[in-house]
Amino acid sequence: MDKTFGALKPHLDRIMALKAAMTLFEWDNETLAPPKAARLTSNVIGALSGEYFQAVDDEKVRELVKACQEDPGLSEAEKAQVRELSREQEKLACIPRDEYQAFARLTAESARIWQEAKEQDDFAQFAPTLEKVIDYQERFAAYRAKDGQKRYDVMLDDYEPGFTMELLDQFFAVIKQEVVPLLKAVVDSKVQIRDDFLAGDFSDAQQEKIGRFLAEYVGFDFSRGVMATSAHPFTTNLHNRDVRITTHYNDNLDSSLFSVIHETGHAVYELGIRDDLTQTLVGEGASMGMHEAQSRFFENIIGRNKSFWVPIYEKVQAAFPQTLTHIRLDQFVDAVNKVEPGLIRTEADELTYSLHVLIRYELEKELIEGQLKVSELAKAWADKYEAYLGIRPQSDREGVLQDIHWSQGSFGYFPSYALGSAFGAQLYAHMKKEMDVEGLLEEGRIDKIRAYLREHIHQYGKLKDSRKLLKDTTGEDFDPQYYVRYLREKFEELYHL
Ligand code: ZN
């Protein structure tokens, strides 16, 4: 270890320990904690996060970071950790502490106000709070903006470094140009795909059994991870020996099976991070988008691929005998790929999903750059759904109030969902040149696919950003054409276009 870095190391270890403690409390809150624990436990989390900010934003630590930046002897991994810490310090230093705390108090409230407005289906109840949240976010972005940088670009950079509005405008223009007409052709084709058998009264025990089987089959290691249930499935990790996923059980087989595969995709990423990087600031997925690239790759490109089910479909049939015994494999696969324009993003099929994200991207960009007022948002939302998906929400609950993100000030987060799908398609196109992906799946050798991703993506953690990972793996910069080509081929075949 470099000597200068050695002096910083105990501080980094402390920062990581505090982070792990907060993560564990968040996990516990969502899974096992009793309902009445929240208020008192939030005191514990508050104290820990105060310690965390102090540990990061400390004068001595700043000096050590500076010394490391001037020391040419640091290894690549050490340099990357210093870069991450410096980035975190910069973020904190730009924003006056009292404003930051006021914002934290506002967001603690705003999620609840959003929830109530959603329950009562009344956007007007939430609008004044949303205005305040946006106001803070705009101010923070202005503090942090570097020479002429636009506010929305500052926000985007938090989730997907290197993906500016300029690049995203091009990406979403391709989506709009290609996916909107493709969806229209699918709807106009009048091809009917039967999927009634995916809904039913499935027992939790059956779903859990098959969920654990699928997680393990895709690559979840139960000696280094656990699976619990929560209202909304998610993945979290403490280090590469402790990665946790959640699932939910319901009356929709599609949602229950594929959310496990999705979260396992996230988990496989975290489990694959190199031992020398885990438990450091670079020991996690490169970005939101690259994380979604892994989860959506396993969920959709692999999980909704007929070849994936060839070796295991009988087992799934046996788990749900009343429902699936008379359903052939190709019927099952067609059903889980059925396209149906809907109003809710989290229930969207693979084709329409990117349009839900496109709508949010256009709206939040306009909100932050001052071209759209909060008072105009609900109507703008509905207009875009009508234009791109051909359906119009009849309520705020099914429209502008459906996602929690904006209430927490997470502007710039949504694009990563669509970018992730596009990264995944680009990786898939390249992977197919190097191996017979479908053939391997049919032989049950999904481990080969995982090993490929581990070698090219997972092991690096945050050592490289998403653009560099794509470039090094595929030999090309990000290219959205792979995604639209993938969608076109798949859905033109399914809908006989
Ligand atoms: Zn995800």
What is the CA(234)–ligand 1 centre distance, in A? 7
Q: Which residue has the tokens 């996923």?
A: 245
* DSSP letter for each residue of 337-363: T-----S-GGG--HHHHHHHHHHHHHH
In which element (H, E) is residue 109 found? helix 97-119
Is 263 known to be catalytic? yes
The dihedrals phi and psi of 382, each to the nearest 5 degrees, come to: -60, -40
Tokens describing residue 43: 């005191």
What is the CA(263)–ligand 1 centre distance, in A? 6
**CA-closest candidate to residue 269, choices 247, 288, 255:** 288
pLDDT of residue 92: 84
pLDDT of residue 1: 87
Q: What angle do helix axes 151-159 and 415-434 make, rounded to 10 degrees? A: 50
pLDDT of residue 45: 82
Catalytic residue among 160, 178, 263, 299: 263
What is the CA(214)–ligand 1 centre distance, in A? 17
Q: What is the pLDDT of residues 212-244, one digit of tens each?
A: 999 999 999 999 999 999 888 999 999 999 999
pLDDT of residue 209: 95
Full-model pTM: 0.95
> Could you report the average pLDDT of every consecutive run of 10 residues in the chain (497 residues)?
94 96 89 84 84 92 97 96 95 86 82 92 97 96 93 95 95 97 96 95 93 98 96 93 95 93 98 97 97 98 98 95 94 97 95 98 96 97 97 97 93 96 98 98 98 98 97 97 98 97
pLDDT of residue 268: 98
What is the CA(235)–ligand 1 centre distance, in A? 8
* DSSP letter for each residue of 270-329: HHTS-TTTTTSTTSS-S-HHHHHHHHHIIIIIITTSHHHHTTTHHHHHHHSHHHHTT--H
What is the CA(264)–ligand 1 centre distance, in A? 9
pLDDT of residue 102: 86
Tokens describing residue 256: 């229950």
What is the CA(323)–ligand 1 centre distance, in A? 28
β-pairing, 242-247 with 235-239? antiparallel
What is the CA(63)–ligand 1 centre distance, in A? 37
What is the CA(292)–ligand 1 centre distance, in A? 5
What is the CA(289)–ligand 1 centre distance, in A? 9
pLDDT of residue 118: 95
The one-letter code for the residue type at 176 is K
Strands (E), 168-266: 225-229, 235-239, 242-247
Cβ-defined contacts of 61-70 (< 8 Å, 24+): 61/8, 61/11, 61/85, 61/89, 62/89, 64/4, 64/7, 64/8, 64/11, 65/8, 65/89, 67/4, 67/7, 67/8, 68/2, 68/4, 68/5, 68/8
CA distance 247 to 67: 45
Q: What is the pLDDT of residues 197-208, one digit of tens each?
A: 999 989 999 999
The dihedrals phi and psi of 228, each to the nearest 5 degrees, come to: -130, 180
The dihedrals phi and psi of 46, each to the nearest 5 degrees, come to: -60, -45
pLDDT of residue 365: 97
